[in-house]
Amino acid sequence: MQFLAVGFLALVLVATPVAFWVRAEAERHALVNARDITQRLADNVVGPLITEDLLARDPAALQLLDQRLAPWLNSGSVSRIKVWDENGRVVYSDAESLIGHEFEHEEWAPMLLEGESGTATLEYQTSDENEFEAGSGELVEVYVRSVSESGAPMIFETYSPGDVVRREQHAVLMGMIPPIVLSLAVLQMAQLVPAVRLARRIQGYQANRNALLRCAIEASDHERRQIASELHDEVIQDLSGLAYALESEERRGTSELRPVYSTARTMLQHDVRKLRAMTSELYPPDLEELGLKTSLLRLESLLVERGISFIVDIPDDLVLDRDQGALVYRVAREALVNAAKHSSAHSVQMQIRQSGPQTRIKVSDDGVGFDTKECRSENHFGLRILADTIWSAGGSFQVRSAPGCGTRVVATLGESAPDVRWSSNKTSESLGWDVGELEPT
Per-10-residue mean pLDDT of the chain, 441 residues long, equals 81 83 84 88 88 88 89 84 88 86 83 87 73 73 89 89 80 80 82 85 84 76 77 82 82 80 85 76 66 84 85 86 82 87 89 89 90 60 75 83 89 64 45 33 35
- Asked if 391 and 331 count as a contact pair (C-beta separation under 8 A), the reply is no
Hey, what domains does the chain have and what are their CATH numbers?
2-161 (3.30.450.20), 289-441 (3.30.565.10)
d(CA 259, CA 271): 18
Cα radius of gyration rounded to whole Å, the chain: 46
pLDDT for residue 411: 92
- SS3 letters across the chain: CHHHHHHHHHHHHHHHHHHHHHHHHHHHHHHHHHHHHHHHHHHHHHHHHCCHHHHCCCHHHHHHHHHHHHHHHHHCCCCEEEEECCCCEEEEECCHHHCCCECCCCCCHHHHHCCCCCEEEEEECCCHHHCCCCCCCEEEEEEEEEECCCCCEEEEEEEEECHHHHHHHHHHHHHHHHHHHHHHHHHHHHHHHHHHHHHHHHHHHHHHHHHHHHHHHHHHHHHHHHHHHHHHHHHHHHHHHHHHHHHHHHHHCCCCCHHHHHHHHHHHHHHHHHHHHHHHHHCCCCHHHHCHHHHHHHCCHHHHCCCCEEEEECCCCCCCCHHHHHHHHHHHHHHHHHHHHHHCCCEEEEEEEEECCEEEEEEEECCCCCCHHHHHCHHHHHHHHHHHHHHHCCCEEEEEECCCCCEEEEEEECCCCCEEEEECCCCCCCCCCCCCCCCCC
- 346: phi > 0 → left, psi -120 to 50 → alpha, else beta; which? alpha
d(CA 406, CA 367): 4
In single-letter form, the type of residue at position 213 comes to L
pLDDT for residue 298: 83
Beta strand 347-355 with 309-313: parallel, antiparallel or unpaired? parallel
pLDDT for residue 144: 92
Closest among 193, 172, 215, 203 to 24, alpha carbons compared: 172
- Asked if 407 and 441 count as a contact pair (C-beta separation under 8 A), the reply is yes
pLDDT for residue 435: 31
